[in-house]
Amino acid sequence: MNKKTQMEKIFAMHKIQLCISLVMVTIFLASCNSKTDNKNNSSKDSLESTILIEKQNTSLDSIVLFLLDASAKDFHDNQPPIPVNFRNVQVRNLIGQNSENNYMICGQFLAQDKQSKDEWTSFATIKTDPYEQWIGSNALTYCQNSKAISYKINDLSSALKNRIDSLQNTKDQAK
């Protein structure tokens, strides 16, 4: 009988060790599986955020191109003043009512008749329906109340000048 109780104790110990081992293996497998899920979720989140950033960049590119074209056309069509140079042309955003984004380009231009005085005038071209262009103190107010947006080109002055020159060359060739 003494042997039987010793055997039962040994068997009970093995049974406990087996249960503990099974619990540890289950926990190990569960933790490996959740790490894999987290890796999949983080790479999925990373991919989704990359796609979102690319869409935003594409959208911002089209807005900037529209604003440059609209601004150049407005300067070209509504002369005087005839702009001969630009500086500090940047993409900006003014948060409007209902938290809507009002994208704009802000900068300064040197008018042909003010060239000798080196007198720069502020302007703002705002994307509305389709756009508004402001010159002088009204433009300065819009620009001061807006926030600069990081864009791949910091100063769009030469891009705007090239568009206006292109419109002028097209007009001269048509004559």
* Residue 20 counted as domain residue: no
pLDDT of residue 136: 93
pLDDT of residue 20: 75
* Residue 63 counted as domain residue: yes
* Residue 27 counted as domain residue: no
Q: What is the pTM of this model?
A: 0.64
* Residue 111 counted as domain residue: yes
Q: Tell me the pLDDT tens digit for each residue of 94-151.
A: 998 888 899 999 999 999 887 778 889 999 999 998 999 999 999 999 999 999 999 9
Long-range contacts at 72-75 (CB < 8 A, ≥ 24 apart): 72/160, 72/163, 72/164, 72/166, 72/167, 73/167, 74/125, 74/131, 74/133, 75/109, 75/133, 75/164
* Residue 157 counted as domain residue: yes
pLDDT of residue 58: 65
Tell me the pLDDT band of 14, cut-offs 50, 70 and 90: low
* Residue 119 counted as domain residue: yes
pLDDT of residue 23: 67
Tell me the pLDDT band of 169, cut-offs 50, 70 and 90: confident
* Residue 36 counted as domain residue: no
* Residue 31 counted as domain residue: no
Q: How many domains, the chain?
A: 1
Q: Which structural domain range is residue 58 located in?
A: 54-174
